[in-house]
């Protein structure tokens, strides 16, 4: 079943065609990887889907609805969750509070919160504990997120995105710059999510990681989709090898 | 004699606390560099003064002052969705100048530079607050209530969302938070309490002229917010009290009054500078200044 459909998406920055007539589909319950050299337009595609930047033309259809032109918060609430390439934690808040923010939007209601009708429920507390245990970071619960190391921040961002209600999880380079052990841990978490039926869209430079993980790989270069298919198919595609690996 | 003097300073300190903690809500908790706070204060002060002069009761004047200031808080929020950081500071500062110019030039309403004189002291439930000692009690109660309400906002999950916007607005949006609505609420609530503080000031001083909206008057309050520490209400209260008392000894040294005003500004600026160099988070702050 198709969950997300990108149709003839275009985005220009001045004279640069960052995304050029890009079209692809994402199947429900699968891991789709977006790969390509630096400047290929992968992150731009992510930002277009999230509504952080608006497309010049084209459609992004999610559950029969065109989401182009919606604000990032509306798009998020339709069922998108993502992490960024750079850390986007709330540095002055505790790890725990970073996670509590992800559950729902009841906390944006002024009177409900002021009058104390929005308590942290047991379910939420247990979920936070469960997710922190998953990444072995329970003991950092009360630490300010800004004090964490790079790898720890990545983990917290990942579980924050998982807690945030979604039907598509978008991960922009989740293992870039992390240690091999941590990479192992993150791939385990992602595979577990896949087993649970999550739909994941992934940007990653690490070829081993990507080809092991993905059901489908989409290769971009200079804003254009130059190939798509199964990891085996991509591994042997000459065009891809030329563009991406420079062989 | 000394007691009367002390009471008058305490009244100003209490009004200063309301103004500073409400400023802390936007600057320290939501990360909006709001330089238009005194405009809301002046709107509240004039609203309250005009209504009081027209014979309306105290509770009506102070609430209307707050609500009208809040309305302008919402209004200024409409453009700030698109304006960020330093530009927001400029825009809110511009708003402050506009309000100042209106107060100065709309002479039919505000009496222009001559100001409004003879504002009656409040009466409530048969109590007369024309005595400063009684008035101090009233101001202290309202200051405490304002502090508690703002404290409640900041420790609730709502306050957590405000802080997330301060730390990383885009990430808050990506989690599905309507940050525009949140910032609007923060500005509105902050403006409401600024309006209340303005109303109390008008009642206390019984005379009002446009200089209350002068942007230069904001500097002590910005200093209080930063010295107390961004994101700390307790620090703000302590700093508000300390900074109200700090320049007072100048009066007794025997400087001419024309120098005292300027010396006060110098003291605030100097104190602020020292804090920024040696204690950039302020005394109780948790938030790093960027």
- Reported as a single tens digit per residue, the pLDDT across B274-285 is 888 888 888 777
Q: Which of A52, A76, A146 sits opposite B176 (nearest CB)?
A: A76
CB contacts of B177 in chain A (<8 Å) are 73, 101, 105, 107-108
Average pLDDT, chain A: 89
Whether the per-residue pLDDT at B130 is higher than 80: the answer is no
pLDDT digits (tens, 9 = 90+) for A62-82: 988 999 999 999 999 999 999
Whether the per-residue pLDDT at B124 is higher than 80: the answer is no
CB contacts of A67 in chain B (<8 Å) are none
| Record: contact B153-A114, CB cut-off 8 A | yes
What is residue B123's predicted lDDT score, i.e. its pLDDT?
Answer: 77
Q: Residue written as tokens 């992490």?
A: A83
Whether the per-residue pLDDT at A243 is higher than 90: the answer is no
Q: Which of A72, A105, A120 sits opposite B174 (nearest CB)?
A: A72
- % residues pLDDT > 90 (chain A): 50
Segment B262-269 mean pLDDT: 81
In chain B, what are the domain boundaries? 2-213
What is residue A246's predicted lDDT score, i.e. its pLDDT?
Answer: 63
Helix spans in chain A (H):
42-50, 72-79, 95-100, 110-114, 122-134, 150-163, 180-195, 207-213, 231-235, 238-240
A94 DSSP assignment: B
Q: Which of B156, B173, B231 sits opposite A114 (nearest CB)?
A: B156
Q: Residue written as tokens 């009506």?
A: B60
Segment A97-101 mean pLDDT: 94
Residue of B nearest to A164 (CA): B175
Close Cβ partners of B233 (under 8 Å, ≥ 6 residues apart):
B21, B24, B147, B150, B151, B154
| Record: contact B157-A146, CB cut-off 8 A | no
Segment A134-151 mean pLDDT: 92
Residue from A225, A198, A201 nearest A58 by CA = A225
In order of start, what are the domains of chain A with their CATH numbers?
2-91+166-245 (3.40.50.300)
Band of the pLDDT at B289, cuts 50, 70, 90? low
Q: Rounded to an integer, what distance in angstroms lies between the CA atom of residue A172 and that of residue B31?
A: 27
Q: Residue written as tokens 């977006």?
A: A34
What is residue B290's predicted lDDT score, i.e. its pLDDT?
Answer: 55
pLDDT digits (tens, 9 = 90+) for B18-48: 999 999 999 999 999 999 999 999 999 999 9
What is residue B121's predicted lDDT score, i.e. its pLDDT?
Answer: 84
| Record: contact B174-A144, CB cut-off 8 A | no
Segment B229-245 mean pLDDT: 91
Q: Residue written as tokens 């275009």?
A: A10
Structure-token pair, residue A133:
């245990």
Helix pair A150-163, A180-195: axis angle to 10 deg:
10
| Record: contact A107-B161, CB cut-off 8 A | yes
Q: Rounded to an integer, what distance in angstroms lies between the CA atom of residue B277 and that of residue A246?
A: 51
What is residue A245's predicted lDDT score, i.e. its pLDDT?
Answer: 61
Task: Name the residue with higher pLDDT: A50 or A243.
Answer: A50
Whether the per-residue pLDDT at A48 is higher than 80: the answer is yes
What is residue B2's predicted lDDT score, i.e. its pLDDT?
Answer: 84
Whether the per-residue pLDDT at A213 is higher than 90: the answer is no
Whether the per-residue pLDDT at B234 is higher than 70: the answer is yes
Whether the per-residue pLDDT at A244 is higher than 80: the answer is no
Residue from B105, B129, B268, B126 nearest B199 by CA = B129
At A31 the three-state DSSP class reads strand
Q: ipTM, 2 decimals?
A: 0.91
Q: Rounded to an integer, what distance in angstroms lies between the CA atom of residue A33 and that of residue A26?
A: 10
**pTM for this structure?**
0.91
Whether the CB-CB separation of A59 and A9 falls below 8 Å is answered with yes
Structure-token pair, residue A74:
């509306």
């Amino acid at each position: 079943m198709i969950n997300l459909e990108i149709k003839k998406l275009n985005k220009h920055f001045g004279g640069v065609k960052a995304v050029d007539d890009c079209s692809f589909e994402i199947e429900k319950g699968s891991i789709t990887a977006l790969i390509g050299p630096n400047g290929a337009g992968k992150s731009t595609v992510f930002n277009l889907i999230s509504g952080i930047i608006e497309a010049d033309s084209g459609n992004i259809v999610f559950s029969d609805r065109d989401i182009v032109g919606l604000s990032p918060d509306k798009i998020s609430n339709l069922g998108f969750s993502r992490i960024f390439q750079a850390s986007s934690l709330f540095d002055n808040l505790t790890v725990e509070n970073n996670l509590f923010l992800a559950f729902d939007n009841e906390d944006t209601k002024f009177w409900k919160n002021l009058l104390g009708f929005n308590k942290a429920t047991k379910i939420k507390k247990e979920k936070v504990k469960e997710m922190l245990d998953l990444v072995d970071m329970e003991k950092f619960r009360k630490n300010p997120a800004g004090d964490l190391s790079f790898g720890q921040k990545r983990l917290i961002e990942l579980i924050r995105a998982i807690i945030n209600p979604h039907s598509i999880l978008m991960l922009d380079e989740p293992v870039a710059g992390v240690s091999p052990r941590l990479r192992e841990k993150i791939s385990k978490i992602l595979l577990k999510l896949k087993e649970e039926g999550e739909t994941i869209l992934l940007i990653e430079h690490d070829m081993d990681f990507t080809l092991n993980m993905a059901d489908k790989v989409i290769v971009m270069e200079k804003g254009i989709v130059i190939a798509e298919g199964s990891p085996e198919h991509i591994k042997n595609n000459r065009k891809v090898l030329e563009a991406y690996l420079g062989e | 004699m000394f007691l009367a003097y002390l009471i008058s300073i305490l009244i100003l300190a209490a009004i200063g606390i309301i103004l500073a903690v409400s400023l802390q809500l936007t600057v320290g908790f939501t990360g909006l560099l709001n330089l238009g706070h005194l405009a809301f204060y002046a709107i509240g002060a004039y609203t309250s003064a005009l209504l009081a002069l027209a014979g309306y009761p105290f509770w009506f004047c102070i609430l209307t002052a707050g609500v009208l200031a809040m309305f302008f808080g919402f209004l200024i929020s409409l453009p700030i969705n698109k304006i960020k950081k330093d530009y927001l500071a400029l825009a809110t500062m511009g708003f402050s100048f506009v309000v100042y110019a209106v107060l100065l030039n709309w002479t039919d309403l505000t009496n222009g530079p001559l100001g409004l004189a003879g504002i009656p002291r409040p009466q409530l439930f048969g109590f007369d607050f024309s005595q400063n000692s009684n008035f101090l009690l009233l101001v202290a109660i309202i200051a405490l209530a304002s502090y508690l309400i703002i404290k409640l906002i900041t420790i609730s999950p709502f306050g957590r969302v405000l802080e997330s916007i301060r730390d990383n607005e885009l990430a808050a949006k990506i989690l599905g938070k309507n940050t525009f609505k949140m910032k609007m609420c923060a500005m509105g609530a902050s403006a409401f309490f600024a309006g209340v503080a303005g109303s109390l000031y008008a009642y206390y001083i019984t005379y009002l002229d446009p200089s209350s909206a002068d942007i230069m008057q904001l500097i002590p309050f910005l200093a209080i917010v930063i010295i107390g520490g961004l994101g700390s209400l307790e620090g703000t209260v302590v700093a508000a009290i300390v900074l109200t008392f700090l320049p007072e000894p100048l009066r007794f040294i025997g400087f001419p009054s024309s120098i005292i005003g300027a010396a006060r500004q110098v003291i605030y600026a100097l104190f602020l500078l020292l804090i920024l160099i040696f204690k950039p988070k302020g005394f109780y702050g948790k938030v790093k200044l960027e």
